[in-house]
Structure 1
Amino acid sequence: MPFANFKFPAGVVDAARKEEIIHRTTAMFVEYFGEQARPYSMVLVEEVADGGWGRADETLTLAKMGLA
């Protein structure tokens, strides 16, 4: 089963954008694996609390990323 998991800071991605991510990711799976992959494709879009993730040993926040 093709599976993708996207994580975004909470409040950054609205419902329409989440739906677009799901549709486009599914289309990519179908392009790569064929139409038979569509019913088994899983796309998870998660929102992570501000400050609940990091990169390169630094906690990231919306303010640090200039998105606050």
Structure 2
Amino acid sequence: MPFVNIKIPQGALSRAQKAEIVHSITGLFVHYFGEAARPHTMVLIEEVGDGGYGRADEVFVVPDAYRARDSLT
């Protein structure tokens, strides 16, 4: 079973954007492994809260300008 785990900042993507990512990644696996991969492909999108990760010794907080506009995240 193909499995993809994506971690994104909480609130950065709308529900529609997450659905598009799931659809696109599933399509990618189907392209390489054939249609039989579709029902077994798992795409997990995990949202990480502000301050829950960092880079280069700096804790990351998503600026409001980069948050999803859709309230149905």
- Under a length normalisation based on structure 2, what TM-score does the superposition of the two structures give? 0.79
Range with greater deviation from structure 2 (51-60 or 10-19): 51-60
| Root mean square deviation, CA, Å | 1.6
SS of structure 2 residue aligned to 1:22: helix
Identical counterparts, % of pairs: 55
Greater RCO, CA 8 A, separation 6+: 2
Deviation for aligned residue 1:21: 0.4
Counting strand residues as a fraction of each chain, which structure ranks higher? 1
User: Within 5 Å, which residues of 2 pair with 1:21-32?
Assistant: 21-32=21-32
Q: What whole-Å deviation, never above 9, does each CA across 1:26-52 have from its counterpart, x for those lacking one?
A: 000100111111111000011100010
* Structure 1 unaligned residues grouped into runs of 5+: none
Paired residue total: 66
| Aligned partner of residue 45 in structure 1, secondary structure | strand
Q: Secondary structure of 1:21's match?
A: helix
- Structure 2 counterpart SS, 1:44: strand
Quote the Cα distance in structure 2 between the aligned partners of 1:30 and 1:54.
33
Gapped regions of structure 2 (runs ≥ 5): 68-73
**2:41 aligned residue:** 41
SS in 2 for 1:47: strand
